Amino acid sequence: MFSTQHSDGQSYNADVPGVVVNHSPASTEKFIGSPSIVILPDGSYVASHDFFGPRGARDRWNQTLVFGSTDQGLTWRHFATIDHQFWSTLFYHQGALYMIGTYGQMGSTCIRKSVDGGSTWTEPVDGETGLLLEGRYHCAPVPVVRHNGRLWRAMEYVPKDRDFEAFMMSVPEDADLLNVDNWVFSNSIPFNGKWYNGEMKDWLEGNALVTPDGEMVNILRCGFYDDTDNISAMVHISEDGRTANFNPESGFISLPGGKGKKFTIRYDPVSGKYWSLVNWVQPKDKTVGKRNTASLISSLDLFSWTIERIVLHHPDPYHHGFQYIDWVFDGKDIIAVSRTAYDDGLGGAATNHDSNYMTFHRIKNFRRNFNFDPPWNE
């Protein structure tokens, strides 16, 4: 049982899985989004999230909060609030902590730098200080990947409404990451409503990944009008990062939970497998919008996936959710942060989508085959 002190000075109890990093009651209409996590060289953890508002007022909040833990996630401290930062990924590179995302919802692409562990951050005011692309852009806390001497990160251009156009951005590892002149941007590929027999409605929140053959690809979540759940899209990126190509005849791949829900995929050189935490919909619950189950999956080739175990679950799919899970390897474990909708003694979450918590989770000895044995956060 988790006991916390609310802003009004009163304590309340909530049986929330994992460790609560932050809580925002539904009554505030500040919903917690975009969790991200990174491990610093000294072993401390840094996590972040942004806020979003109700449908019709999603751009009401435009800030990211940063938290730190020095006891392996048992307790957390808030130490920074960054205005005009959204949908952001934390990553550590060559002695500094970075945050890459957008300047606001559907805002310009930007990157910030911190040299004090996340307490203070640079401001992206121009092309020399982290303002990379001006206009309407979209992303999520998706991986930044090192490959062939470059850092890679997927992104979407949004010329209007929800017309997501997928592209890849990259920069040399030894370059100044805040200077736009050092970055390469591929062409952007517009979503086509005729793909997949006209049943597909969008693609977004792509993952930069290196295939077993050493090719850079972008794997995106896909939206469908029907009950399709296990489909995502793979876009191929040229070696120089300038060309993105998608073949609708062969580009759709199987991925449990790939429909309509964000995922983070990472490669583990120890097991030789790709891993992800996804909102796989169990066969008995064939409603693709559900986010009340988080499952650990793995693959040797990015095409064939195994459901390793159910990590988090609540039987109610309408006001409970474990979603947008970002995670990293920590030795034999996986550590993760979740955008969580759960009971809080104050009326709970507004919906399964409109989360009221960011929670921290540890999956111990994740490489073991559990066959759905459920000792969550054991």
Average pLDDT over residues 77-93: 97
Q: What is the pLDDT of residue 2?
A: 44
Ordered by start, the domain boundaries in the chain are 16-363
Burial class (CB in 10 A: 0-12, 13-18, 19+), 55: exposed
Architecture of domain 16-363: 6 Propeller (2.120)
Q: How far apart are CA 51 and CA 144, in angstroms?
A: 22
Say whether pLDDT at 225 is over 90: no
Of the pLDDT bands very low, low, confident and very high (cuts 50, 70, 90), residue 55 is low
Q: What is the mean pLDDT of residues 247-274?
A: 94
Q: What does the block give as tokens for 366?
A: 């994740």
Percent residues over pLDDT 70 in the chain: 90
> Is residue 1 scored above 70 in pLDDT?
no
* Predicted pLDDT of residue 288: 57
* pLDDT at residue 230 tops 90: no
The mean pLDDT of 125-145, rounded to a whole number, is: 98
pLDDT at residue 285, as a whole number: 67
The C-alpha torsion from 180 through 186 and 297 to 254, rounded to 10°, is 160
Q: What is the pLDDT of residue 370?
A: 54
* Greatest distance between any 2 Cα atoms in the chain: 58
Confidence check: pLDDT of 144 > 50: yes
Q: What is the pLDDT of residue 338?
A: 98
What mean pLDDT value characterizes the chain?
Answer: 91
Q: How much of the chain exceeds pLDDT 90, in percent?
A: 81
Measure CA 329 to chain center: 15
Calculate Rg over the CA atoms of the chain. Answer: 19
pLDDT beyond 70 at 374: no
Residue 228 confidence class, pLDDT cut points 50, 70, 90: low
| Partner residues linked to 216 by β-bridges | 210, 237
pTM of structure: 0.94
pLDDT of residue 286: 65
Residue 45 confidence (pLDDT) above 90? yes
pLDDT at residue 378 tops 70: no
Which pLDDT band holds residue 199 (cuts at 50, 70, 90)? confident
227 falls in which pLDDT band (50, 70, 90)?
A: low
The residue with greater pLDDT, 362 or 160, is 362
Q: What is the tens place of the pLDDT at every residue in 3-26? A: 444 444 445 557 899 999 999 999
What is the arithmetic mean of pLDDT over 91-96? 98
Q: How far is CA 149 from CA 152, 170, 209, 214, 239, in A?
A: 10, 10, 14, 13, 11
Q: Looking at residues 322-349, what average pLDDT do you find?
A: 97
**Confidence at residue 192, expressed as pLDDT on a 0 to 100 scale:** 92
